Each structure stands twice: as structure tokens, then as C-alpha cells.
Structure 1
Amino acid sequence: MAFSPQTRAQSRRWLPRSFYARAALILIVPVLTIQLAVAVLFLQRHVEDVTASMTATMARQVALVRTHPELAALLGIFEAEAPDATRIRIWDLGGRVMRARLAEALPDLAAVDTVAARKEVRLGFADGTGLAFPRDAVSAPNPHQLIVWMVAVALVATAISVLFMRGQIRPIRRLAAAAEAFGRGQHADFWSSGSTEVRQAGTAFLAMRARIERHIEQRTLLLSGVSHDLRTPLTRMKLELGMMDGPEAEALAGDVRAMERIIDTFLDFARAGATDALAPHDLTALVREAVSLAAPEAEVPVSGPEGVVMPVLPEGLRRAVANLVGNALRYGRRVRVEVSAGAAAAIVAVEDDGPGIPDGDRDAAMRPFSRLDAARGSTEGNVGLGLAIVRDIARAHGGTLRLGDSPLGGLKAEVVLPR
């Protein structure tokens, strides 16, 4: 019978979450199982067999003392008050074996008490007489020593194994930290170490990181180079159009301005993955500054708590907020920005009352060069990179970009930044 991935995942919920705890569990469970198996099988058999043999000898001595009382002191048996009933502790395995053997050898035995006196066994007979003898005369000598040694050896072995596991897991943790740092746009020092499998994973990560860095570098150089080379002919075109009159010249000037906006967008996209350093900033103050720079003539309200200081990429975050505010002003009339902060993350939300984006198109809207408004041409400067730039900047912080519905009736874009 095949189980679904969800069923298998639910069946493992009882397992610890960390690899270190799971490895420790894999080690400790077999050790405890062996301990219990030895204790139950070997010790029980040992206690029962030895106790039965010693009890048989003691039963013969008790029978001899009952017929020849003068031998009691010589055999270590003495008179005692007869117990009223049999009392043996539940966990006293040897006591139950001893009682059974005594009952078989002494037909008139009425009661056996191993609780009334410490380290002593009292017997009561049908005629009202009682005898007592030391418990160690019918018990295996010091069976607890084996248990103590087993526990001590198990603890030492577990401690050594835990230290060994820490050394094996440390390279995995370093690999995870390096991967997380790379996802935030940081270049953490990392070298491959550990077991063969961990070294292979580390080497694969280093090769992957190098390939991604080369790809980002090539993308940046390509877009920067193309954008830079296009500025020279555009400048000449602007000068020539400045000396021309007529509606045709004005239309061409609009095209040139749109091409300049496209070039600026390319440059922003090329810079989105780099490189201003993380630094602590007041998040609300930084967002207000970005909104005022992006829309100096529009009255865009910014709300949020003061004093939310957290490490951010300041230039990147300014660019992300500016892109979202510019998009909101392009498609809507009412725009508002809200900053909220929790224990785990801070959120910068930009809302508008425009047409919004359908739920099924939101993932596509965040892809580079994706334009959902097909009726608009690229002459307006829209090349479908605005939300892609914002998403790249959010990922550089280790966060994400979320699109949803705004209470204003349009789009709500949230930049989630982990704290």
C-alpha cells in the first residue's frame, strides 16, 4: 500500500526537527534497546536460575531445622514471629521465584514475607511457628552491579558518540550558514570539510555559487554596457530633436524619453543584486525618504512605528519602495504606504486604488520582462522589470515580495524583511 507524501510527513511529526537531535535519537534508541533486552532476558534468567538453586538448598535447611532445632544457629536460621500473609514487592522477581520453590519443598508453608524486615525473609507455617533467614542466602549476589556497569558504559559511549556527531554535523551547519548568507547577497567564507558526502555537497555548493556569481556578473556587465552604449546616440538624437519643430519632432522626443526610462530601468535591474552593505537604519524614516524622492509632488501618506532599527541594504530598499510607489501612482489615484514590524519580520506595504492584478497573474507579474498590460507599448518605458527588481531586492535581504488585494480596491504589494 502506497502512502502519499503528506501522510509520510505527518507520520514523522513526532521526530525531532534538527539533524543533530535525530542523529542522537538514532544512536540512543538502539543502545537503550540493547540495555533493556539484556536486563529483561539475561538478568531475569540469571536472577531466576540462581535464586531457584539457592532456594532449593535453603528449603532443605529449613526442613532440617524444623526437625532438629539445635542446628538453627549453625545454618544461619532463627526463630521469628510468623507473618500474617505473604508480602512480596511487585518488582521483586527473585522473591516470586523463591516463594514458588519454598512452597513446592515445604507443603505446610503458609506465608512468605520479604517486606517486614530489610534484607530478611520470614516464613510462616500452618502450625503458627515462624522462621527467618538472611535474604542474601537465597538471592543472586549483587546483580545490580551488572546494571550499574551497563549504564556507565552506555553513558560513556553515548558521550563519545555525541562529541563525534558534533564534529560531523559542524560542516553541515557551516554549509547551511554559507548558503543562507549567499541567499542574502553576502559572500561568506566557506571551505569543504567533513565526511566524503559532506565534502561533495560543499564542493557542489562552491561550484554552484561560482556559476551564479559569474551569471550575475555577466548580466550586470551586459545590461550596463548596452545601456551605456545607447546613451551616446540618444544624446545626439535629443540635440537634433531640440533643433526641430513640428508634431513629428515632439512624438520622436517622447520616444527618446521613453528609451531613456527603459535604459534607467535596465541599469536598476542590473544593480538590483549588488552591493551596498547591510547597515542598521530606521526603517520608517528610510521609507519616508524613499517615498519623498520617488514622488516629490504627490502626497503619499506613510504610516508606521518610529524607532524600528534593523539592518537593511539602504540603496536597494529605497529603489524597491520607489518602484512600488511609481507603479502605484501610474495605475491609481490614491496611494498609501504602511510600515509594520513584528518579532520575526518587518513589512513595507504599498497600496493603491488601481485595477490591481488578478490572482492568477501575480506570479507572472514578478518575472523579468513580463508586461500584463499588453495594450501599453514599450514606448511608455514599461519593460516589465519594476516588480522583478523589487523581488530581487527583497530576496537580497532574505525576504520576499507578496502581492495581494488592497482595501482601497487595487493592488497591495508587501516587501517582507526578516529581522
Structure 2
Amino acid sequence: MDASPTALRDRPPRGASPRWLPRSFYARAALILIVPVVTIQLAVAVMFLQRHYEDVTVQMTSNMAREIALAREHPDLADALDIDLGAPPAASRIRFWDLSARAMREQLREDFPDLVAVDTVSVRKRVALGFEDGTGMRFDRHNVSAANPHQLLVLMVATAILMTAVSFLFMRGQIRPIRRLARAAEAFGRGQHADYRPTGATEVRAAGTAFLDMRARIERHIEQRTLLLSGVSHDLRTPLTRMKLELSMMDVPQSAELAGDVEAMERIIDTFLEFARESATDERARVALKPLLRDAAEMAMPNRPVELTGPELDADIYPEGMRRAVANLVKNAGRYGDRVRVSLQSGAGAIVVAVEDDGPGIPENAYEAAMRPFSRLDDARSNTAGNVGLGLSIVRDVARAHGGALRLGRSDLGGLKAEIVVPR
């Protein structure tokens, strides 16, 4: 049983990537680019900050420790050393993100075991020390730690942002041809001929050229099939017309049976022409679906009632193709069942036209075979009715021309349920 395009798109393939990874190629390429850049930036920043805040601060603090020791031994030299003597701080105060202050405190404690308090918060850009003997002193912060590397960090971040933006623009230009190829392939799958010219990198151009070759081969195949079926069917009409004329002038008991066989052959030819014609002359238009379904049901079974349910909807479709597809389904349902129901449903991303009957239905394992061209499930049945097994195949081709699918299932009426699913 065919799945709808939405189900096929949402179904995770084997070996799919983890759910936390982005799904688009553009996002994945950006992730591949950004992660190494950010990692390198962080590694450089950590190494630089460790060197700057720890090694340089420890060296400068060691130099300052000698001046502090000199000022403690000779207080009269404190002014010359730019050290202010006074009351000690009440307690140690260091901000938790101040790495250089932490390194400075550890080095000062190593040099002065009697150090009891280090305060870098009370007075901005000043360090206050307190010792066990009750003395205290203050000096400029820049004497024990290098200037904060804000300029270098800002430069690193600004450079990273600039290069990432340039890379994004470059990637966007590289991904644009892939998106154009995807749109052209999607349009061709819906029966439309989108203008496409291969561009981009060598690999993308190769894929685009292969797509154009494939599209040309498929179009030639469809054209040849159409010409073949149309030609054969047209050539058979002349002898059939002559046979009908001769049978009408015959007055023998067998003439009625022969006339029935000729009519069956005409129906087979009409079916061939319908299959060959598909939607070649049909153009998309926005139409009201419910009146179209009613016309299709009346065309297929003019003398029998058909239930029609569903809301009033407008859709952008191939009107003649949809009318022919629904008529085929209604005709099949009326052939094998007494009750026929046509329903219209609308979802978030698709429109579903369902035709159901109360007949014997089709075994589930024969759904795919029933939709193949020239496939008849009852091989022993004679073909006097003109059945060549093209009805469901025509319906599936019409559904695919809309970018949708034909689904078969079991109806609650007891027979077959055929659904034409087309995207909105």
C-alpha cells in the first residue's frame, strides 16, 4: 500500500542521524563550520587567560611582595613605594570570577604567612591587605596584575563573528543550486516541467545533469507510450466500426453476442486511450471539490445513487484528471458493490478523497498488484466486460501527478476503500 508523501517524509530511514542533529544540509554545514571555530577560540582563550592571569599575575605579585616587605620594615618608605598604610580590611573579599585576584592572594599568602585578609572589592582598582599584627596597607591593582585583556577578547569574538558570517554567505551560495535541483525534481514528480539549469560545484552540476538526462528519458518514454497506445487504439477503431456495421445488417442468432464482443473491444480501446492520455492536456486550476466529485459520480453511475459527504473545499488540482480518477473508482465500486460512498476530508497538509463500497473487496496482500497496469486479480474471469486492469493504475498516476498517492484499505461498509491523497 502506497504511503502518503507526508508519511514518507516523516518516516526515519535506517541509520538515521540522532534527533539532536539539525535536519537540513545548510544547518549541518553551519554546525560543522561553527563547532571547530568555537572550539579553537575557546582553547586559545583558555590558554591565553591561564598564561595572562596566572603566570603574569604571579610574577608581578612576587615583585610587589618585596616592596610590601620593605614597607613593613620601613614604614617611612611606603609613600615612595606608592603604598598607603592604614587600617586593615574587615574581611577578605574577592569576586568569584576574578581569576587574577585569586592567583595574587595565593602568592601573597605564600610570601606572607601572617596575611589574614585580601580585599579587592571595597575600593575599585585598589588592593587592601590585613596582617595578624593589625597593620594594613593599600596599593594600586595594576601593580600585581596585568591589565584585563578585554581588547584582545573583543577582537577575537568580533573576528569569529565576521568570519562566520562570511562563511554563512558562502555556504548559502553553495547550497542554493542544491535547493534549485530539489525544487525541479519535486516539480517533475508532480507532472510539472520546471526550468532548470545545472549550476554550482562540480558534484552539484553532475547531479543536475544526471537529473536532466533522467527527466528527458522519462519524458521520451511517456511520449512513446502515448503514441503507441493512441496509434494502436486509433487504428483498431476502423475495423471495429466496419464490424459493427456488418453485424447490424446480419440477421442471425449469433450477431447479438458478436455485437457485445465488439462493444467490449471498444470499451477496451477507450480505456487504452484514457490511460495514454493521462493529464497531458490538463492544467492546474483552483476548483470547488464537492461539485467536481458529484459530477464524477454522476458520470460513472448516472442511474444509481451515490452517497457524497464532506465539507466544501477549494483546491489547486488538475480538474479533468481528478474527475476521471474519481469516476474510475466509483465505476469500480459500483461494479462490485451495491452501496457506494464518496467522502471528502481535509487535514493539515493533505486532502483525502475516499471511495468506498460494500462489495467483496481486495485481499490486503493484493493491494500493490491491483494498482499495477494491466493487472486483473481474477485471471479466470473472461474479458467480455472490457476490463483490462487499468482503472486503479490511472487513478494512481493522477494522484502522483498531484504529488500524492493512492491508498487502498478496508472500508467500514465491508468492501474496498480507495483514497486519493493529494497535498494541499
Q: TM-score, normalization: structure 2?
A: 0.94
How far apart are the structure 2 equivalents of 1:120 and 1:399?
74
Tell me if structure 2 keeps the 8 A contact 1:356–1:405.
yes
Aligned-residue Cα RMSD (Å) equals 1.5
After TM superposition, give the deviation of residue 83 of structure 1 in Å. Answer: 2.8
What is the alpha-carbon distance in structure 2 between the residues aligned to residue 257 and residue 69 of structure 1? 127
Given that 1:80 and 1:122 are in contact with CA atoms closer than 8 Å, whether structure 2 keeps it comes out as no
* Helix, strand or coil at the partner of 1:247: coil
Q: What is the DSSP-based 3-state SS (H/G/I as helix, E as strand, rest coil) of the residue aligned with 1:379? A: coil
Structure-2 residue corresponding to 1:400: 405
- Taking a change above 3 Å as real, the CA distance of residues 6 and 394 of structure 1, as seen in their structure-2 partners, is closer
CA, structure 1 residues 175+407, in 2 after alignment: closer, same or farther (shift >3 Å)? same
Matched, 1:365 2:344: no
Partner of 1:43: 49
The one of 349, 362, 366 aligned to 1:344: 349
- Residue matched to 1:226: 232
User: Aligned to 2:123, what secondary structure does the other structure show?
Assistant: coil
Please state how far the C-alpha of 1:7 moved relative to its aligned partner. Answer: 7.5
2:13 and 2:368 map into 1 onto residues whose CA distance is: 25
Q: Please state if 1:177 is matched with 2:183.
A: yes
For the pair 1:374 / 2:362, whether they are aligned, the reply is no
CA distance in 2, matches of 1:187, 1:374: 39
Q: 2:271 aligned with 1:279, yes or no?
A: no
1:124 and 2:124 aligned: no
Question: Bigger shift: 273-282 or 233-242?
Answer: 273-282
Where does residue 160 of structure 2 map in the other structure? 154
Alignment of 1:240-259 (within 5 A): 240-259=246-265
Equivalent in the alignment of 2:420: 415
Counterparts of residues 71-82 of structure 1 (less than 5 Å): 71-82=77-88
Q: What do residues 136-159 of structure 1 show as CA deviations (whole Å, max 9, x unaligned)?
A: 221122312211111000000000
> Secondary structure of the residue that 2:80 maps to in structure 1?
helix
The question of whether the paired residues in 2 share the 8 Å contact of 1:31 and 1:154 is answered with yes
Partners of 1:53 and 1:6 lie apart in 2 by: 60
Distance 1:345 1:179 in 2: 20
Query: Aligned-pair distance for 1:273?
Result: 4.5
Decide whether aligned partners of structure 1 residues 87 and 8 sit closer, same or farther in structure 2, where only a CA change above 3 A counts. farther
Specify the code of the residue in structure 1 equivalent to 2:242.
Answer: R
Q: More deviation in 275-284 or 190-199?
A: 275-284
- Alpha-carbon distance in structure 1 between the residues aligned to 2:62 and 2:181: 67
8 Å contact kept, 1:77–1:132: yes
Correspondence for 1:111 among 104, 107, 117: 117
Q: Does structure 1 conserve the Cα–Cα contact (< 8 Å) formed by 2:279 and 2:318? A: no
Residue among 220, 238, 245 paired with 1:239: 245
Offset of 1:86 from its aligned partner? 2.8
Match of 1:87 among 61, 71, 93: 93
Using the TM superposition, give the Cα deviation of residue 287 of structure 1 relative to its aligned residue in structure 2, in angstroms.
Answer: 1.0
User: Once the 2 structures are TM-superposed, how far is the Cα of residue 85 of structure 1 from its aligned partner?
Assistant: 3.4
- Once the two structures are superposed, what CA deviation does each residue of 1:208-260 show, in whole Å capped at 9, x if it has no partner? 00000000100110111111111111101111111123332111111111111
1:88-144 CA-to-partner distances (Å, cap 9, x unmatched) read 222222122111111111121112122233222221111122212222221122312
Query: Which blocks of at least 5 consecutive residues in structure 1 are unaligned?
Result: none
**Separation of aligned partners in 2, 1:37 and 1:151:** 13
AA at the equivalent of 2:423: P
Is contact 1:185–1:274 with CA below 8 Å preserved after alignment?
no
| Letter paired with 2:258 | L
Q: Which amino acid aligns with 1:100?
A: E
CA contact (8 A) 1:400 1:416 kept: yes
Residue 13 (1) aligns with residue 19 (2)? yes
- TM-superposed CA distance for 1:73, in Å, is 2.4
Distance between the aligned counterparts of 1:132 and 1:94, measured in 2?
17
2:125/2:141 contact within 8 Å kept: yes
Alignment coverage as a number of residue pairs: 413
Q: 1:139 matched to which residue of 2?
A: 145
Asked if the contact 2:372/2:392 (under 8 Å) is kept, the reply is yes
Question: Using a 3 Å threshold, how does the CA distance of structure 1 residues 41 and 364 change in structure 2: closer, same or farther?
Answer: same
Q: What stretches of structure 2 of length at least 5 have no aligned partner?
A: 1-11
Cα 1:312–1:43 change in 2 (3 A) is same
Percent identity over paired residues: 70
Deviation at 1:79, TM superposition (A): 2.8
C-alpha contact 2:279 2:320 (8 A) present in aligned 1: no
1:260 is the counterpart of 2:266: yes
Is 57-66 or 272-281 further displaced after alignment? 272-281
The offset of 1:49, in angstroms, is 1.1
The 3-state SS of whatever aligns with 1:349 is strand
Instruction: Please list every run of at least 4 consecutive aligned residues from structure 1 whose deviation after the TM superposition is greater than 6 angstroms.
Output: none
What's the offset of the Cα at 1:48?
Answer: 1.1
Q: Which amino acid aligns with 1:345?
A: A
Local SS of the residue matching 1:354: coil
TM-score, structure 1 normalization = 0.95
The secondary structure found in structure 2 opposite 1:416 is strand
